[in-house]
Amino acid sequence: MSFDVAVERRLGDTVVACAFQTGSGLTALFGPSGAGKTSVLNMIAGLLKPDTGRVAVGGEVLFDSAGSVDVPVQARRAGYVFQDGRLFPHLRVRDNLAYGMQAEGLMGLDEAADFLGIAHLLDRWPRSLSGGEAQRVAIGRALLSNPRFLLMDEPLSGLDRARREGVLRVIERLRDEVGLPILYVSHDRTEVEQLATTIVEL
């Protein structure tokens, strides 16, 4: 079992509630904008504390309101690819990639750069990257932090068609070659059908 999640959190007037269990591969969290998909990712990553519930990934309990378990965000080892990229603007691409790098990681920096097709961008500043390039750097940064699982929040939104294809292929390779559990948030039905092993509707 990769993701075993049952969380509830009040945000203003709405309550975000969500429960699902998934097998290996890529799980798509699918639903309209405003359904609270990003909030669910934040609760799994440890950036948002559920009011009640339980979060376990790969058998390890990260949060449990009943057993008062709350692993701090730094220790959860979530490879979080944010919708808005969130590259550090004061660091070059190379230093962004290396920010969370672990010695015993899945792959080295150069290997990851080749895998993602960003080897030629290493000395550039984030502000000089196109949307697709920035998104691939963000994926690389998450991969190099030696994550136990990946959280991807609409990594294709804001990209034009040609660039979507590039990033999409990268995600398919991640799913098939790296073997990490991936939780993938989207509101695009075709994207979800193309990528997902399991679909969770919110």
Partner 1 sequence: MMAPDVWGIVWLSLKVSAVAVGACLPLAFALAWALARGRFAGKVLLDAAVHLPLVLPPVVTGWLLLLAFGPQGPAGRWLEDVLGMTLMFRWTGAALAAAVMALPLMVRAMRLSIEAVDLRLEAAAMTLGASRWRVFRTVTLPLALPGVVAGAVLGFARSLGEFGATITFVSNIPGETQTLPLAIYSALQVPGGEAVVTRLAVISVLLSLAALVVSEVLARRMGRHAHVL
Residues near partner 1, by CB under 8 A: 45-47, 73-80, 82, 84, 86, 88-90, 99-100, 102, 127, 141-142, 145
CB of residue 78 vs partner 1: minimum separation in angstroms?
A: 5
The burial class, CB within 10 Å (0-12 / 13-18 / 19+), for 72 is exposed
DSSP for residue 157: T
Rounded to a whole number of angstroms, the minimum distance from the CB of residue 28 to partner 1 is 20
How far apart, in Å, are the Cα atoms of 171 and each of 53, 104, 174, 182, 192? Answer: 29, 22, 5, 9, 12
Q: Between 74 and 190, whose beta carbon lies closer to partner 1?
A: 74
Q: Which is nearer to partner 1, 86 or 187 (CB)?
A: 86
Cβ pair 140, 105 in contact under 8 A: no
**Residue 106 Cβ vs partner 1, minimum distance, rounded to whole Å:** 14
- Rounded least distance, CB 194 to partner 1, Å: 26
Nearer to partner 1, 100 or 197 (CB): 100
166 close to 155: Cβ distance less than 8 angstroms: no
Q: Which of 101, 197 has the CB closer to partner 1? A: 101
By the 8 A CB rule, do 79 and 142 touch?
A: yes
